[in-house]
Amino acid sequence: MDIRWAVMGSGGIARRRTIPEGITQARDCTLVAVHDIDPRVNREVARQFGAAACDSEEALLSRTDVEAVYIATPACAHYQQVLRAARACRHVLCEKPLGMTVEEAQSLVRECRKAGVKLAVDFMMRFHAYHAAARRMIDQGQLGRMVLGRAQLSCWYPPMAGAWRQDPATGGGGSLIDMGGHCLDLLETFLGRTRRATCYARSLVHPYRSEDTAVVMAEFETGAVGFVDTCFNIPDRASPNRLELYGSKGSILAEGTISQGQAGTMLARVEQQNGYQAAQTRRMTDGLAIEAPTVNLYKAQIEDVNSAIREDRQPLCDGEAGLWSQKVLAACYESSRISRTVEVA
Protein backbone atom coordinates (compact mmCIF):
# COMPACT_ATOMS: atom_id res chain seq x y z
CA MET A 1 0.00 0.00 0.00
CA ASP A 2 1.22 3.50 -0.83
CA ILE A 3 2.58 5.92 1.77
CA ARG A 4 0.17 8.87 1.65
CA TRP A 5 1.80 12.31 1.72
CA ALA A 6 0.67 15.85 2.36
CA VAL A 7 2.58 19.09 1.75
CA MET A 8 2.79 22.25 3.84
CA GLY A 9 4.02 25.10 1.67
CA SER A 10 2.89 23.80 -1.70
CA GLY A 11 4.35 26.68 -3.74
CA GLY A 12 8.06 27.25 -4.34
CA ILE A 13 10.40 24.26 -4.19
CA ALA A 14 7.52 21.87 -3.49
CA ARG A 15 5.68 22.79 -6.69
CA ARG A 16 8.86 23.19 -8.74
CA ARG A 17 10.73 20.07 -7.67
CA THR A 18 9.64 17.88 -4.78
CA ILE A 19 6.05 17.17 -5.81
CA PRO A 20 6.55 16.59 -9.57
CA GLU A 21 9.95 14.88 -9.30
CA GLY A 22 9.68 13.25 -5.88
CA ILE A 23 6.29 12.51 -4.36
CA THR A 24 4.42 11.84 -7.62
CA GLN A 25 7.27 9.78 -9.11
CA ALA A 26 8.42 7.73 -6.10
CA ARG A 27 7.46 4.08 -5.76
CA ASP A 28 4.48 3.30 -3.52
CA CYS A 29 3.68 6.94 -2.88
CA THR A 30 0.55 9.11 -3.23
CA LEU A 31 0.01 12.83 -2.73
CA VAL A 32 -3.34 13.34 -1.00
CA ALA A 33 -3.40 16.92 0.33
CA VAL A 34 -1.64 20.30 0.12
CA HIS A 35 -1.69 23.59 2.02
CA ASP A 36 -0.13 27.00 1.36
CA ILE A 37 -0.65 30.45 2.84
CA ASP A 38 -1.52 31.62 -0.67
CA PRO A 39 -4.92 29.96 -1.34
CA ARG A 40 -4.80 30.68 -5.07
CA VAL A 41 -1.44 28.95 -5.47
CA ASN A 42 -2.61 26.10 -3.27
CA ARG A 43 -5.70 25.51 -5.41
CA GLU A 44 -3.55 25.53 -8.55
CA VAL A 45 -1.14 22.97 -7.07
CA ALA A 46 -4.01 20.78 -5.89
CA ARG A 47 -5.56 20.78 -9.38
CA GLN A 48 -2.19 20.23 -11.06
CA PHE A 49 -1.37 17.12 -9.02
CA GLY A 50 -4.80 15.75 -8.17
CA ALA A 51 -4.70 16.45 -4.42
CA ALA A 52 -7.10 18.00 -1.94
CA ALA A 53 -6.57 21.71 -1.21
CA CYS A 54 -6.69 22.25 2.57
CA ASP A 55 -7.46 25.75 3.81
CA SER A 56 -5.43 25.36 7.01
CA GLU A 57 -2.65 23.30 8.56
CA GLU A 58 -5.14 21.96 11.07
CA ALA A 59 -7.38 20.69 8.28
CA LEU A 60 -4.40 18.99 6.61
CA LEU A 61 -3.17 17.30 9.81
CA SER A 62 -6.66 16.17 10.79
CA ARG A 63 -7.07 14.12 7.62
CA THR A 64 -7.01 10.42 8.47
CA ASP A 65 -5.46 9.54 5.10
CA VAL A 66 -2.25 11.54 5.72
CA GLU A 67 0.72 9.47 6.93
CA ALA A 68 3.70 11.72 6.12
CA VAL A 69 4.10 15.48 5.71
CA TYR A 70 6.65 17.34 3.62
CA ILE A 71 7.31 20.83 5.04
CA ALA A 72 8.60 23.37 2.50
CA THR A 73 7.80 26.67 4.19
CA PRO A 74 10.13 29.52 5.30
CA ALA A 75 12.67 28.49 7.92
CA CYS A 76 10.96 30.49 10.66
CA ALA A 77 7.86 28.27 10.36
CA HIS A 78 9.61 24.90 10.55
CA TYR A 79 9.70 24.52 14.32
CA GLN A 80 5.97 24.92 14.97
CA GLN A 81 4.94 22.95 11.88
CA VAL A 82 7.19 19.96 12.59
CA LEU A 83 6.04 20.04 16.20
CA ARG A 84 2.36 19.99 15.22
CA ALA A 85 2.92 17.24 12.67
CA ALA A 86 4.76 15.08 15.22
CA ARG A 87 2.04 15.56 17.83
CA ALA A 88 -0.48 14.53 15.19
CA CYS A 89 1.61 11.34 14.73
CA ARG A 90 2.64 12.16 11.16
CA HIS A 91 6.08 11.31 9.78
CA VAL A 92 7.98 14.40 8.61
CA LEU A 93 10.37 15.42 5.84
CA CYS A 94 11.42 19.01 6.54
CA GLU A 95 13.37 21.38 4.35
CA LYS A 96 16.57 22.54 5.98
CA PRO A 97 17.25 24.18 8.32
CA LEU A 98 15.40 22.01 10.80
CA GLY A 99 14.81 25.02 13.05
CA MET A 100 16.08 28.53 13.58
CA THR A 101 18.36 27.51 16.46
CA VAL A 102 20.16 24.48 17.84
CA GLU A 103 17.66 24.41 20.69
CA GLU A 104 14.70 24.25 18.29
CA ALA A 105 16.32 21.41 16.35
CA GLN A 106 17.04 19.50 19.59
CA SER A 107 13.43 19.91 20.65
CA LEU A 108 12.11 18.61 17.32
CA VAL A 109 14.35 15.53 17.36
CA ARG A 110 13.14 14.81 20.90
CA GLU A 111 9.45 15.38 20.10
CA CYS A 112 9.51 13.19 16.99
CA ARG A 113 11.24 10.42 18.92
CA LYS A 114 8.65 10.69 21.69
CA ALA A 115 5.80 10.56 19.15
CA GLY A 116 7.32 7.53 17.42
CA VAL A 117 7.47 9.22 14.00
CA LYS A 118 10.31 9.45 11.49
CA LEU A 119 11.98 12.82 11.03
CA ALA A 120 14.01 13.50 7.87
CA VAL A 121 15.73 16.67 6.67
CA ASP A 122 16.07 17.53 2.99
CA PHE A 123 19.80 17.17 2.32
CA MET A 124 18.95 15.70 -1.07
CA MET A 125 22.42 16.27 -2.55
CA ARG A 126 23.64 13.22 -0.67
CA PHE A 127 21.64 11.14 -3.13
CA HIS A 128 23.39 12.44 -6.26
CA ALA A 129 24.84 9.48 -8.19
CA TYR A 130 28.19 11.25 -8.70
CA HIS A 131 28.48 11.99 -4.98
CA ALA A 132 27.74 8.34 -4.20
CA ALA A 133 30.45 7.28 -6.69
CA ALA A 134 32.95 9.65 -5.04
CA ARG A 135 32.12 8.23 -1.61
CA ARG A 136 32.76 4.70 -2.87
CA MET A 137 36.15 5.66 -4.26
CA ILE A 138 37.13 7.33 -1.00
CA ASP A 139 35.84 4.44 1.13
CA GLN A 140 37.84 2.02 -1.03
CA GLY A 141 41.00 4.03 -0.38
CA GLN A 142 41.53 5.00 -4.02
CA LEU A 143 42.38 8.59 -3.09
CA GLY A 144 44.58 7.58 -0.14
CA ARG A 145 44.50 9.76 2.95
CA MET A 146 41.96 12.54 2.46
CA VAL A 147 43.50 15.95 3.07
CA LEU A 148 41.36 18.66 1.49
CA GLY A 149 37.87 19.40 0.17
CA ARG A 150 36.04 22.33 -1.35
CA ALA A 151 32.32 22.82 -2.04
CA GLN A 152 30.97 25.84 -3.88
CA LEU A 153 27.35 26.89 -4.37
CA SER A 154 26.43 30.39 -5.48
CA CYS A 155 23.71 32.18 -7.40
CA TRP A 156 22.38 35.64 -8.19
CA TYR A 157 19.71 36.50 -5.62
CA PRO A 158 18.79 40.20 -5.90
CA PRO A 159 16.56 42.07 -3.46
CA MET A 160 12.92 41.00 -3.75
CA ALA A 161 9.95 42.14 -1.71
CA GLY A 162 8.92 39.49 0.81
CA ALA A 163 11.90 37.19 0.15
CA TRP A 164 12.26 35.41 3.50
CA ARG A 165 15.85 34.29 2.87
CA GLN A 166 16.91 37.95 2.76
CA ASP A 167 15.99 38.59 6.40
CA PRO A 168 17.66 36.66 9.27
CA ALA A 169 14.42 36.91 11.25
CA THR A 170 12.65 34.63 8.77
CA GLY A 171 15.51 32.71 7.14
CA GLY A 172 18.00 32.41 10.00
CA GLY A 173 20.65 33.98 7.77
CA GLY A 174 21.51 34.24 4.11
CA SER A 175 23.75 32.35 1.72
CA LEU A 176 25.51 30.41 4.49
CA ILE A 177 22.46 28.79 6.08
CA ASP A 178 20.56 28.47 2.80
CA MET A 179 23.26 27.04 0.51
CA GLY A 180 26.32 26.60 2.71
CA GLY A 181 24.39 24.11 4.85
CA HIS A 182 24.19 21.80 1.82
CA CYS A 183 27.91 22.25 1.10
CA LEU A 184 29.03 21.53 4.65
CA ASP A 185 26.77 18.49 4.91
CA LEU A 186 28.16 17.19 1.63
CA LEU A 187 31.82 17.67 2.60
CA GLU A 188 31.15 15.83 5.86
CA THR A 189 30.00 12.76 3.92
CA PHE A 190 33.50 12.58 2.43
CA LEU A 191 35.72 13.96 5.21
CA GLY A 192 33.92 13.27 8.51
CA ARG A 193 32.17 15.59 10.92
CA THR A 194 33.27 19.19 11.37
CA ARG A 195 35.44 19.73 14.45
CA ARG A 196 35.98 23.49 14.25
CA ALA A 197 35.24 26.29 11.82
CA THR A 198 36.46 29.73 10.82
CA CYS A 199 33.88 31.75 8.92
CA TYR A 200 33.49 35.08 7.21
CA ALA A 201 29.88 36.08 6.50
CA ARG A 202 29.46 39.47 4.88
CA SER A 203 27.05 41.68 2.92
CA LEU A 204 29.06 42.96 -0.02
CA VAL A 205 26.63 43.65 -2.86
CA HIS A 206 22.97 43.49 -1.89
CA PRO A 207 21.35 45.83 0.67
CA TYR A 208 19.23 43.23 2.48
CA ARG A 209 19.98 42.16 6.06
CA SER A 210 21.09 38.58 5.42
CA GLU A 211 24.67 37.93 4.31
CA ASP A 212 25.22 37.61 0.56
CA THR A 213 28.78 36.25 0.88
CA ALA A 214 30.09 33.47 3.12
CA VAL A 215 33.34 31.53 3.26
CA VAL A 216 34.03 28.73 5.76
CA MET A 217 37.30 26.99 6.51
CA ALA A 218 36.57 23.79 8.42
CA GLU A 219 38.68 21.16 10.14
CA PHE A 220 37.11 17.70 10.12
CA GLU A 221 37.41 14.87 12.61
CA THR A 222 39.63 12.97 10.17
CA GLY A 223 42.17 15.78 10.26
CA ALA A 224 41.33 16.88 6.72
CA VAL A 225 40.45 20.51 6.09
CA GLY A 226 37.89 22.01 3.74
CA PHE A 227 36.52 25.19 2.28
CA VAL A 228 32.96 26.25 1.51
CA ASP A 229 32.21 29.37 -0.51
CA THR A 230 28.63 30.34 -1.08
CA CYS A 231 27.27 33.64 -2.37
CA PHE A 232 24.02 35.32 -3.32
CA ASN A 233 25.84 37.91 -5.44
CA ILE A 234 27.49 36.00 -8.32
CA PRO A 235 25.66 35.55 -11.64
CA ASP A 236 24.45 31.99 -12.10
CA ARG A 237 26.51 31.27 -15.21
CA ALA A 238 29.67 32.66 -13.58
CA SER A 239 29.72 30.05 -10.81
CA PRO A 240 30.27 26.40 -11.86
CA ASN A 241 29.41 25.08 -8.37
CA ARG A 242 32.57 23.03 -7.95
CA LEU A 243 33.23 20.05 -5.71
CA GLU A 244 36.92 19.28 -5.17
CA LEU A 245 38.24 16.36 -3.12
CA TYR A 246 41.98 15.78 -2.66
CA GLY A 247 43.87 12.88 -1.15
CA SER A 248 47.43 11.56 -1.01
CA LYS A 249 46.82 9.43 -4.12
CA GLY A 250 44.77 11.79 -6.25
CA SER A 251 41.70 13.93 -6.61
CA ILE A 252 38.06 14.02 -7.66
CA LEU A 253 36.92 17.22 -9.37
CA ALA A 254 33.30 17.91 -10.24
CA GLU A 255 31.26 20.75 -11.68
CA GLY A 256 27.51 21.21 -11.53
CA THR A 257 26.77 18.31 -9.17
CA ILE A 258 26.10 20.64 -6.23
CA SER A 259 22.68 21.77 -7.40
CA GLN A 260 18.98 20.95 -7.37
CA GLY A 261 19.40 18.80 -10.48
CA GLN A 262 21.01 15.49 -11.32
CA ALA A 263 23.50 16.64 -13.97
CA GLY A 264 27.14 17.64 -13.79
CA THR A 265 30.52 16.16 -14.61
CA MET A 266 33.10 14.41 -12.43
CA LEU A 267 36.74 13.57 -13.16
CA ALA A 268 39.17 11.49 -11.11
CA ARG A 269 42.95 11.77 -11.27
CA VAL A 270 44.51 8.94 -9.29
CA GLU A 271 48.16 7.90 -9.21
CA GLN A 272 50.82 6.66 -6.83
CA GLN A 273 53.73 9.12 -6.68
CA ASN A 274 56.69 7.78 -4.73
CA GLY A 275 59.45 10.27 -5.35
CA TYR A 276 59.80 14.03 -5.35
CA GLN A 277 59.67 15.60 -8.80
CA ALA A 278 61.46 18.93 -8.70
CA ALA A 279 60.03 20.16 -12.00
CA GLN A 280 56.46 19.36 -10.84
CA THR A 281 55.32 18.83 -14.42
CA ARG A 282 51.74 17.78 -14.81
CA ARG A 283 49.17 17.00 -17.49
CA MET A 284 45.85 18.62 -16.66
CA THR A 285 43.99 17.24 -19.67
CA ASP A 286 43.98 13.60 -18.62
CA GLY A 287 41.95 11.85 -15.97
CA LEU A 288 39.16 9.32 -15.67
CA ALA A 289 35.64 10.57 -16.34
CA ILE A 290 33.42 9.03 -13.69
CA GLU A 291 30.23 7.53 -15.07
CA ALA A 292 27.19 7.17 -12.82
CA PRO A 293 23.53 6.35 -13.44
CA THR A 294 21.07 9.22 -13.40
CA VAL A 295 19.29 9.49 -10.06
CA ASN A 296 16.62 12.08 -9.34
CA LEU A 297 17.52 13.56 -5.96
CA TYR A 298 13.94 14.27 -4.85
CA LYS A 299 12.58 10.89 -5.88
CA ALA A 300 15.49 9.15 -4.13
CA GLN A 301 14.93 11.03 -0.88
CA ILE A 302 11.16 10.41 -0.83
CA GLU A 303 11.76 6.71 -1.49
CA ASP A 304 14.31 6.61 1.33
CA VAL A 305 11.79 8.13 3.77
CA ASN A 306 9.11 5.71 2.56
CA SER A 307 11.47 2.78 3.14
CA ALA A 308 12.39 4.10 6.58
CA ILE A 309 8.70 4.19 7.52
CA ARG A 310 8.06 0.67 6.21
CA GLU A 311 11.23 -0.85 7.67
CA ASP A 312 11.11 1.10 10.95
CA ARG A 313 14.61 2.50 10.53
CA GLN A 314 16.05 5.99 10.48
CA PRO A 315 16.09 7.90 7.15
CA LEU A 316 19.51 8.51 5.64
CA CYS A 317 19.14 12.25 6.31
CA ASP A 318 17.45 12.01 9.70
CA GLY A 319 16.69 14.51 12.43
CA GLU A 320 20.12 14.01 13.99
CA ALA A 321 21.67 15.13 10.70
CA GLY A 322 19.52 18.26 10.79
CA LEU A 323 20.50 18.92 14.40
CA TRP A 324 24.20 18.46 13.64
CA SER A 325 23.92 20.87 10.70
CA GLN A 326 22.44 23.48 13.03
CA LYS A 327 25.38 23.04 15.42
CA VAL A 328 27.91 23.47 12.62
CA LEU A 329 26.12 26.53 11.23
CA ALA A 330 25.86 28.06 14.72
CA ALA A 331 29.63 27.68 15.11
CA CYS A 332 30.17 29.31 11.70
CA TYR A 333 27.99 32.32 12.47
CA GLU A 334 29.62 32.72 15.88
CA SER A 335 33.06 32.56 14.27
CA SER A 336 32.10 35.32 11.84
CA ARG A 337 30.71 37.42 14.70
CA ILE A 338 33.78 37.21 16.93
CA SER A 339 36.43 36.82 14.17
CA ARG A 340 37.88 33.65 15.67
CA THR A 341 37.85 29.91 15.09
CA VAL A 342 34.98 28.21 16.96
CA GLU A 343 34.68 24.60 18.10
CA VAL A 344 31.48 22.82 17.09
CA ALA A 345 29.52 22.01 20.23
Give the mean model confidence (pLDDT) for residues 24-47: 97
pTM score, whole prediction: 0.94
What one-letter code names the amino acid at 110? R
Return the ∠ at Cα 126 (arms to 18 and 94), rounded to 5°.
45
Spatial distance between the Cα atoms of 136 and 131, rounded to a whole number of angstroms = 9
Helix axes 102-115, 319-338, angle to 10 degrees: 170
Give the mean model confidence (pLDDT) for residues 106-132: 97
pLDDT at 55 over 80: yes
Query: Quick one: 179 exposed, middle or buried, by C-beta within 10 A (0-12, 13-18, 19+)?
Result: buried
How is domain 3-124+298-317 classified at the CATH fold level?
Rossmann fold (3.40.50)
Return the ∠ at Cα 236 (arms to 238 and 42), rounded to 5°.
175
Domain ranges of the chain: 3-124+298-317, 125-296+327-343
Handedness of CA 207, 198, 226, 76 (dihedral sign): negative
Q: What share of the chain in percent tops pLDDT 90?
A: 92
pLDDT at 311 over 70: yes
Give the mean model confidence (pLDDT) for residues 272-276: 65
Q: What share of the chain in percent tops pLDDT 70?
A: 96
SS3 112: helix
Give the mean model confidence (pLDDT) for residues 171-188: 98
More confident residue, 213 or 261: 213
How is domain 125-296+327-343 classified at the CATH fold level?
Dihydrodipicolinate Reductase; domain 2 (3.30.360)
What integer pLDDT is reported at residue 314 of this predicted model? 97
pLDDT at 230 over 70: yes
